Amino acid sequence: MSEQGSEPSKKIFEVSDLKNFEKSLAYKELQQSLNQIILLIQGVKVPPNVLSKEIVTRDKQAITETPLPPPTSDTQNNTRYQNNVEVIINLLDELNKLINETPPVEGPTRFGNIAYRTWYEKADKTLPTLLEKLDLKLQNKSQFITEIKYYLANSFGSKMRLDYGTGHELSYLAFIGALIKNNDIIKNPSGEEVLVLFAKYYDLVRNLILTYNLEPAGSHGVWGLDDHFHLIYILGASQFVNDPSAPSVRQALSKQVITTYKLSNFYINAIAFIFKLKTGPFNEHSPIIYDIHMSVLSWNKVRQGLLKMYSAEVLGKFPVIQHFWFGEILYSWKDQQGKALPVNQPEEPNKPTKKVSKPSSNIPMTAAPWAKR
């Protein structure tokens, strides 16, 4: 093994590989990480002064809007988090500063601003130094750093395609999941610590999207849950589960609820970001989310439906999951008994290969429990 360790490698080359992925330890660990995280944050609010108001507020939005009474919170934002959580928070803050140092290239850009590639290269060079600040008591530290760096770097979007989507969001889940799974790195994290780690990440990637006009990766158009995100809605729905101060599902799209909860709840925060980016009737540009709020009565049911869709539309979709690579010690391509799974090698370079069609609006979506028949 080299001093810096070997990076994760590609194992999914064709649609039939999805069945092996579902048998893999990687699949099981991603599911376990997601389940652990949503339970940790259940009923917990993002602490004050963490999420950026500007990122989810239209520039010309009136300041005179009348909010509902602020949500009650038992937590204060003066708590110092455990050391490795602080390291990740500072890391994401540093990457945000790099955006200010890397302005977009002037002139019309239809498919993303190429200055994003410059930012990405700067971030990629900076990550090893920033991750070395983690307090790691591991024998295979160099390999662990190499692998978590891969998942973190892959969570910011595609340098080549100038896009961002649910596969990149999944990569950050893999990154945080790895830190939580190794209990010596982030020990017994609180729900608030988990929320802060995701809040800093979401503000960073949305800053990237807004600054460099990153395209939605593999967007289903109006049939997708969101142009860029899915996981954020699961996290936000979980925050509202068993929270007596939560608004009703039906009220979640109202101006008052958005004003009140957009900085304390991820679900409402994501809705606010949609309103920042899009105009026109909500039921036209975001019909699936609109359908949720016309058809579902409880946040627990919303969470269940979103989890079902996540398994099918992110973990179960070849155009998304083909870009998830597998490491030696994290998210391995082995079955539950530790046996290596088969890999369908790609075609030889001199042979014609079948083109994988880009996802489009006619790709069948998995019907959510609230979908109208």
- The C-alpha atoms of residue 12 and residue 199 are separated, in whole angstroms, by 30
* Per-residue pLDDT, 139: 84
Could you tell me the pLDDT band of residue 3, with boundaries at 50, 70 and 90?
low
Sign of CA dihedral 26, 32, 33, 38: positive
Of 361 and 276, the structure prediction assigns the larger pLDDT to 276
Could you tell me the pLDDT band of residue 172, with boundaries at 50, 70 and 90?
very high
Average pLDDT, the chain: 87
- The C-alpha atoms of residue 120 and residue 8 are separated, in whole angstroms, by 19
Q: Residue 96: is its pLDDT beyond 60? A: yes
- Segment 240-290, tens digit of pLDDT: 999 999 999 999 999 999 999 999 999 999 999 999 999 899 988 889 999
> What is the pLDDT averaged over residues 181-186?
85
pTM: 0.88
* Per-residue pLDDT, 158: 95
Type of residue numbered 220: H
> What is the pLDDT averaged over residues 197-213?
97
**Cα 40 to chain center, whole Å?**
17
Q: What is the 3-state secondary structure (H, E, C) of the chain?
A: CCCCCCCCECCCCCCCHHHHHHHEHHHHHHHHHHHHHHHHCCCCCCCCCCCCCHHHCCCCCCCCCCCCCCCCCCCCCCCCCCHHHHHHHHHHHHHHHHHHCCCCCCCCCCCCCCHHHHHHHHHHHHHHHHHCCCCCCCCCHHHHHHHHHHHHHHHHCECCCCEECHHHHHHHHHHHHHHHHCCCCCCCCCHHHHHHHHHHHHHHHHHHHHHHCCEECCCCHHHCCCCCCCHHHHHHHHHHCCCCCCCCHHHCCCHHHHHHHCCCCHHHHHHHHHHHHCCCCHHHHCHHHHHHHHHCCCHHHHHHHHHHHHHHHCCCCHHHHCCCCECCCCCCCEECCCCECCCCCCCCCCCCCCCCCCCCCCCCCCCCCCCCC
> What is the pLDDT averaged over residues 142-154?
96
- The C-alpha atoms of residue 119 and residue 122 are separated, in whole angstroms, by 5
> What is the pLDDT averaged over residues 60-78?
43
